[in-house]
């Protein structure tokens, strides 16, 4: 946080420690708010669904003390929970979302409600898709790790082929749940499933897996 008093407080948030260390996402957020004058900077590293954000509380306190405006790059980085947005509004701190600076408090409240609804629907569809895959006998989760040996004398190729079938079935289940390629990749990474090359999933990697049939 800058030590000089400013009329703006910049609130930046990343969802993982790795993102915080590497700066992934931070530069994009800084660019989004670069149109505004420099301000004190507060960086949060945590989940968008959590409400206990110490850096945001510090930013709000700073704004109240210095009559400053809170600026965030995107609404979904501030909160995906409509109750949390309500709490922010009740703090009486003026805030601006850089991606929609002309938005009114009502607009922001509606956007937050839509984000919360989308997150809820994704969760429901994901569970339904995975449940359908499980009914088909697919074992989901970290057990797909191809580094783990199985009993007997299976070759690495046999193990890899079986795991590929399991991963594909899981992907098919997520596709059936209506998830986008990006969200499928995120779900696979959350489950601890890696690509055949032991890498994190991306939308392109999911697309390639589907193309292989």
Q: What is the mean pLDDT of residues 163-180?
A: 78
| Residue 161 to residues 141, 167, 205, 208, Cα–Cα distance (Å) | 16, 10, 17, 16
Whole-number pLDDT of residue 76: 60
Domains and CATH numbers, the chain: 8-103 (3.40.50.1390), 122-212 (no CATH)
Whole-number pLDDT of residue 171: 84
pTM strictly above 0.95: no
Dump pLDDT digits (tens) for 111-130: 666 666 666 777 776 777 77
Catalytic residue list contains 15: yes
Q: Is the pLDDT of residue 65 over 90?
A: yes
Query: Which run of H or E residues covers position 95?
Result: strand 95-97
Dump pLDDT digits (tens) for 149-164: 444 445 666 666 677 7
DSSP state of 144: G
Whole-number pLDDT of residue 198: 84
Q: Is the pLDDT of residue 71 over 80?
A: yes
- Stronger pLDDT, 100 or 7, i.e. the higher one: 7
Catalytic: which of 15, 86, 123, 157?
A: 15
**Percent of the chain clearing pLDDT 90 (strictly above):** 10
Dump pLDDT digits (tens) for 180-213: 899 888 888 877 788 888 889 999 999 998 888 6
Dump pLDDT digits (tens) for 6-47: 689 998 877 665 544 444 478 888 888 887 778 899 988 765
| Residue 165 to residues 48, 153, 161, 172, 198, Cα–Cα distance (Å) | 33, 19, 6, 10, 16
């Amino acid at each position: 946080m800058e030590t000089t008093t400013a009329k703006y407080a910049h609130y930046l948030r990343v969802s993982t420690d790795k993102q915080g260390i590497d700066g992934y996402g931070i530069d994009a957020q800084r660019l989004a708010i670069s149109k505004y004058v420099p301000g004190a900077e507060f960086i949060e590293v945590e989940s968008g669904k959590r409400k206990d954000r110490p850096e945001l509380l510090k930013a709000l306190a700073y704004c109240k003390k210095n009559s400053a405006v809170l600026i965030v790059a995107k609404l979904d980085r501030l909160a995906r929970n409509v109750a949390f947005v309500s709490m922010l509004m009740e703090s009486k701190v003026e805030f601006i979302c850089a991606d929609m600076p002309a938005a009114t408090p009502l607009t922001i409240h509606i956007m937050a409600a839509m984000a919360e609804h989308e997150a809820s629907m994704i969760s429901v569809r994901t569970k339904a898709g995975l449940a359908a895959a499980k009914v088909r006998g697919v074992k989901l989760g970290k057990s797909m790790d191809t580094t783990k040996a199985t009993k007997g004398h299976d070759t690495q190729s046999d193990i890899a082929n079986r795991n590929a079938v399991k991963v594909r079935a899981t992907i098919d289940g997520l596709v059936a749940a209506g998830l986008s390629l990006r969200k499928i990749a995120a779900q696979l990474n959350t489950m601890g499933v890696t690509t055949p090359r032991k890498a994190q999933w991306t939308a392109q990697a999911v697309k390639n897996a589907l193309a292989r049939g």
